[in-house]
Chain A
């Protein structure tokens, strides 16, 4: 899931200040906490109130989209509405905002959210932990299933660092566990400290650098195989 955190109302209002009719689009996709129709409606009411305090009239409509990051779903959901509005405020993650700007080239879409991170587990009602930063170079096989890239503030491949105290990390004032101590505990439990001792050479950051352009599927042909067979 992707965790978003709503921006302050002043910041959102300043984005839409030049416009008098806005469409507020929630997203029913993977955003957590929910950013759907109810949240869109609440934001509309807040923006209207804010506009009134400045002596302005604001017309708004709240709606929601199954997944804003899917260009076809976004297009079919919002096309009937969008022409009536001066601008759109999206409650989706950054990807949804980019997608609406791409699909509806003639309308500006503004973000209402900070996109915090993906790859998280929701622990309790209001506490999320990032477990995967989608680095494109997975080393979980060496670390007992605990990721030092998402979990270590210094992204160390050969931790722990000297900032670990009683198994806790210096970043966050010793309230978060040190990922490398967790890795050590896990590997020790399975008698696999050989993996812990292993030196890991410098990481190839190309797999996680932005912008990423990825081709997952490649064309497949059996011609080369047949040629190989013929040779042998």
Chain B
């Protein structure tokens, strides 16, 4: 683990030994923040979700920038943000400037990502930047935090920034070895934590977590509760490398069919399926791996937080 102080609540809770949860918010093409703030407040209420990730143009789509909503959820929902930053759209000059700006706004966590290519998104003609890659971005952050300079050694006026940053890892990657070696380079560049892509396969997840143990960095395993059959089907078919178990798909389809016209009944049935799948999944991860926690990507599915996490202790003030 890096020797850097825990500047964020996320890192403090991890260092205190809690099994932590993070949530996920996805600002899309929106003009108001009502839903995002509502979702963030629901996370806060659980007292089990310590921080909320705020995504940065997932699937390469043009969405609201991630910094402003990160600030707003901290201000209005009083939950700490994990500001997701891809290197797809900004060069090193812009990234540096944004990080300094974020420090002013009280952002304490950054999740560094390469970012899905613009060729996948809704502005396919756009030029993808990728001036530096996500590992080099980690180096930039290490220098800004630990040495108080930019990449060229120019000093930051007023000292060093106080932030923690993480990287992602993909348990679904095949072949696995280059993925693990890549994570190694990021660890070498000082990451404080790792959040993984989602996994529905408990054995695969355990195996992956075991391999990551060599880095001695806290890992939050990604899980993705499925709000509807449509989302599950999309995930199964369109998210590369991820397959949703067939039984889960079948059960969700049946729940929607059986409760046609009964919204309440449908929600209850779907929530039950998710709780029955993910609660034992998370408990097994907690029991038999060294994972530091769970990154729960239940985007716009805040009603699941309370029932899903009710068995886990409250540790957030």
Contact = CB atoms under 8 A, between A and B. Distances in A.
Interface of A: 153-167, 170-172, 174, 180-181, 184, 188, 193, 196-203, 205
Contacts of A199: 135, 139, 185, 188-189
A155 B181 contact: no
Interface string B78-90: 0000000000100
Given A157-B136, A202-B136, A202-B151, 11 more contacts: A155-B133, A156-B130, A159-B133, A159-B178, A162-B113, A163-B117, A164-B179, A174-B240, A198-B185, A199-B185, A202-B140
Nearest to B130: A154
A184 B181 contact: yes
Contacts of B135: 157-158, 199
B299 to A, nearest CB: 18
Interface of B: 88, 92, 113-114, 116-117, 119-120, 128, 130-136, 139-140, 151, 168, 170, 172-175, 177-179, 181-182, 184-185, 188-189, 197, 240-241
Given A156-B133, A202-B151, A164 B173 contact: yes
A133 to B, nearest CB: 13
Contact of B120 (A171, A196, A197, A205): A171
B128 A165 contact: no
A59 B182 CA distance: 61
A167 B240 CA distance: 12
14 contacts: A153-B128, A155-B133, A157-B135, A158-B182, A166-B174, A171-B119, A184-B177, A188-B177, A196-B181, A198-B185, A200-B136, A202-B139, A202-B140, A203-B131
Sorted nearest first, the 6 A-B pairs with minimum C-beta distance are A158-B135, A184-B178, A165-B240, A161-B114, A165-B241, A156-B133
Chain A interface main SS type: loop
A165 B174 contact: yes
Nearest to A198: B185
Contact of B139 (A153, A162, A201): A201
Given A170-B240, A201-B136, A202-B92, A184 B119 contact: no
A155 B135 CA distance: 13
B75 to A, nearest CB: 31
B214 to A, nearest CB: 12
Contacts of A153: 117, 119, 128
Given A201-B136, A202-B136, A167 B174 contact: yes
Contacts, number: 100
Contacts of A174: 240
Contacts of B184: 197
A203 to B, nearest CB: 8
A167 B133 contact: no
Contacts of B130: 154-156
A154 B170 contact: no
Contact of B175 (A155, A181, A197, A202): A181
Contacts of B140: 202
Contacts of A170: 116-117, 119-120, 240
Contact of A162 (B88, B92, B170): B170
Contacts of B189: 199
Contacts of A181: 175, 178
Contacts of B177: 184, 188
A57 B179 CA distance: 63
Nearest to A193: B181
A198 B172 CA distance: 23
A163 B179 CA distance: 11
A139 to B, nearest CB: 13
Contacts of B134: 158, 161
B87 to A, nearest CB: 8
Contact of B131 (A159, A161, A180, A205): A205
Contact of A180 (B136, B170, B178, B241): B178
A159 to B, nearest CB: 7
Nearest to A166: B174
Report which residue of A165, A174, A198 has the largest number of chain B beta carbons within 10 angstroms of its beta carbon.
A165
Contacts of A172: 119
Contact of B132 (A162, A196, A202): A202
A114 to B, nearest CB: 15
Contacts of A163: 114, 116-117, 120, 240
